Structure 1
């Protein structure tokens, strides 16, 4: 249990970013209290892709050995034409990738990653995890912070990190903005591997792309399950029905994917249809720090999924924030200022790039598709120019600090 004489850092939100931040702060021998609104720590959703900029952080936090036991190490990232069924381009994720970036590319179940991080926090004497805490108020006064939960609980500490996701309450301390609906929805699910119709190497990550749609497939949980994500733009979306279930329906999914190749059609037949995920991001903001309060992860910079960088950027945040706490010791305000000075331009670029790549892969014009496919078909699987700025960050950042 936490030593009450040590005023803890308070992390609002116990998702992947919040738990990683707690482990980072604990690395500096300071106490952390993680406040999670759910009744237990856990993750929903299906698979997650972690590029080297994320696995570099997980190596640093000491959890990669556990992740290696449950993750899959794909050989290639493959772009396919959802209609013709032809391969457009691929990226080698093997030894060349690992040597270039200092860490592997892995895919795994979100809940497996979250469990590894939660168990690492539970066993850390500097970290306390608290559930059923929906934070409704946060303030700073005389070098101390206080948060109040909806059940009346008060938590005092030395600083606050808002890690409460896309619909963040902590973000409201800095800006009165709203999540931006992309008009795309996702349907997710994982099926037993033995039910998969074989195509190519099932260790690969496949992304089937077409106008206003794509399908992502890859194995998780030691290769026992096959994760599938179906994404499409809904023509039935309106601002008035945004928060209803009347757009992006399973019936619309079937219509939009009609005419795709047999392997894509087969995948659609297996997808779970009970729950849909509308896809949101927010516009970048130019400040997320005030005194001893700051944001990280989706609370600071929610992004669309097209670069598979959401969790990766949260893990980058956790690592860089930790570096600044090491550098500045008890000067938390300066640590937070330098943290956001580095992270705001970086994450704004990734947010904007994710939007742009969404437009590229979902292109609807003949000219745009021809230009895209010509560029993709001309590159080799050892050409890393499109991903260097994303996947190579942590190796470079760590080398510059050290």
Structure 2
């Protein structure tokens, strides 16, 4: 079916990945309709880290200047020992990093990134944004697609892209699987920067990760440096499968017990963290296929991953950039475009998914020998050694470079 305002590409989900995909497709001269389940577009959570593989895409989409206005450009990524408070290793992410990868490393509030993308989509004449759209199913009809809502409505389009996140409904078209609980929970929050002066932190422009057995704490500034974002993560000894979907495990009381013997900086972070909401941490096993005809998946709907590499949103933005390229090349032949997209993106994202799990095991190591080896390796590298992040941050694939 020829793409038109009456037969748009339908993007299911209006998160960061879905909005970036819509913007990229509209810039590739496609009409796009975004269907968001929530009553309004918005991001839950606090800070987000975007490496160069993501900011390269934002540059390509033409929104990086706006993103920069609400971001912080940290100087270093620093790994710290959660108990001794000593620095284990660091990575320079200042000018040398930008020169290497062609784009900066930024940290910002999720809602600020979301708003930038919403504004860009609302200002594009080929994008329509709809809320209160709970999608229950989608299907191919020869050269068109149809999606169905819980309210009994349906929409016809030229293609469907499922961008509906970890608990995706569109993923069920391809596989009957469930999210995998890691048994870890996260508590997140941002405090006014003026409070940080009394909060015993290091350089407020750096990104810190304090690591220890079955736990870590992340700290960095957001919103032009006006807020200080903190994330506290730990594995719950109270987790049991039968209580997975309750709040009976990973409680604030358990958090206090897990971190009671950590260094003063970590204990101070715990004292400032918001305790009203906990985030159980999930991913899914990689799948080999997420494309059928004129329907495909992207972002967490296709490849949800644990947060340990800070690559979840980055991979969704990589998807968005590459999807726009293949659609631009193949025009209204969406089935071919989506096959080419999946051929490039599935191996890449599966690798990052499994790497995130492995990195989690490394930073949360409980075995003393493994911890010693890890720390020795970290101590013997310099802050200008990028070999461990090249494979993630150095990805900048555009269609013109693909044979």
For normalisation by structure 1, the TM-score amounts to 0.98
In structure 1, C-alpha distance between the alignment counterparts of 2:205 and 2:311, rounded to whole Å: 20
Residue by residue, what CA displacement relative to the aligned partner does 1:67-95 show, whole Å, maximum 9, x if unpaired?
11110000000000000000000000011
Query: Who is 1:166 aligned against?
Result: 166
Once the two structures are TM-superposed, the CA of residue 194 in structure 1 deviates from its matched residue by 1.2
Residue by residue, what CA displacement relative to the aligned partner does 1:124-165 show, whole Å, maximum 9, x if unpaired?
001000000000121111211111111122111000000000
Once the two structures are TM-superposed, the CA of residue 397 in structure 1 deviates from its matched residue by 4.5
Query: Who is 2:362 aligned against?
Result: 360
Query: Who is 1:267 aligned against?
Result: 269
- Residue aligned with 1:30, SS: coil
Once the two structures are TM-superposed, the CA of residue 5 in structure 1 deviates from its matched residue by 5.1
Relative to structure 1, is the Cα distance of residues 81 and 286 closer, same or farther in structure 2, using a 3 angstrom cutoff?
same
Once the two structures are TM-superposed, the CA of residue 258 in structure 1 deviates from its matched residue by 1.1
- Residue aligned with 2:324, SS: helix
Query: Who is 2:34 aligned against?
Result: 34
Query: Who is 1:145 aligned against?
Result: 145
Note if 1:90 corresponds to 2:90.
yes
In structure 2, C-alpha distance between the alignment counterparts of 1:267 and 1:200, rounded to whole Å: 12
In structure 1, C-alpha distance between the alignment counterparts of 2:35 and 2:105, rounded to whole Å: 30
Deviates more, 1:354-363 or 1:4-13: 4-13
1:228-307 alignment runs, 5 A limit: 228-307=230-309
- Residue aligned with 2:56, SS: helix
In structure 1, C-alpha distance between the alignment counterparts of 2:6 and 2:344, rounded to whole Å: 29
In structure 1, C-alpha distance between the alignment counterparts of 2:390 and 2:177, rounded to whole Å: 31
Query: Who is 1:338 aligned against?
Result: 340
Once the two structures are TM-superposed, the CA of residue 327 in structure 1 deviates from its matched residue by 1.5
In structure 2, C-alpha distance between the alignment counterparts of 1:216 and 1:153, rounded to whole Å: 43
Once the two structures are TM-superposed, the CA of residue 6 in structure 1 deviates from its matched residue by 4.2
Query: Who is 1:99 aligned against?
Result: 99
Once the two structures are TM-superposed, the CA of residue 121 in structure 1 deviates from its matched residue by 0.3
Query: Who is 2:10 aligned against?
Result: 10
In structure 2, C-alpha distance between the alignment counterparts of 1:345 and 1:142, rounded to whole Å: 28
Query: Who is 1:400 aligned against?
Result: 401
In structure 2, C-alpha distance between the alignment counterparts of 1:44 and 1:16, rounded to whole Å: 11
Query: Who is 2:325 aligned against?
Result: 323
In structure 1, C-alpha distance between the alignment counterparts of 2:392 and 2:128, rounded to whole Å: 32
Once the two structures are TM-superposed, the CA of residue 399 in structure 1 deviates from its matched residue by 6.5
Note if 1:61 corresponds to 2:61.
yes
Note if 1:50 corresponds to 2:50.
yes
- Residue aligned with 1:358, SS: helix
Query: Who is 2:312 aligned against?
Result: 310
Query: Who is 1:194 aligned against?
Result: 194
Once the two structures are TM-superposed, the CA of residue 28 in structure 1 deviates from its matched residue by 1.2
Relative to structure 1, is the Cα distance of residues 353 and 5 closer, same or farther in structure 2, using a 3 angstrom cutoff?
closer
Query: Who is 2:207 aligned against?
Result: 205
Gap regions ≥5 residues in structure 1: none
Query: Who is 1:218 aligned against?
Result: 220
Note if 1:81 corresponds to 2:81.
yes
In structure 1, C-alpha distance between the alignment counterparts of 2:322 and 2:288, rounded to whole Å: 18
Aligned length: 399
In structure 2, C-alpha distance between the alignment counterparts of 1:84 and 1:289, rounded to whole Å: 48
In structure 2, C-alpha distance between the alignment counterparts of 1:202 and 1:214, rounded to whole Å: 18
Relative to structure 1, is the Cα distance of residues 340 and 104 closer, same or farther in structure 2, using a 3 angstrom cutoff?
same
- Residue aligned with 1:314, SS: helix
In structure 1, C-alpha distance between the alignment counterparts of 2:218 and 2:212, rounded to whole Å: 12
In structure 2, C-alpha distance between the alignment counterparts of 1:152 and 1:373, rounded to whole Å: 57
Residue by residue, what CA displacement relative to the aligned partner does 1:283-326 show, whole Å, maximum 9, x if unpaired?
00000000000000000000000000000000000011111111
Once the two structures are TM-superposed, the CA of residue 400 in structure 1 deviates from its matched residue by 2.0
In structure 2, C-alpha distance between the alignment counterparts of 1:218 and 1:333, rounded to whole Å: 42
Relative to structure 1, is the Cα distance of residues 361 and 130 closer, same or farther in structure 2, using a 3 angstrom cutoff?
same
- Residue aligned with 2:104, SS: coil
Residue by residue, what CA displacement relative to the aligned partner does 1:333-368 show, whole Å, maximum 9, x if unpaired?
100000000100000000000000000000001100
Do the aligned residues in 1 keep the contact of 2:91 with 2:385 (CA within 8 Å)? yes
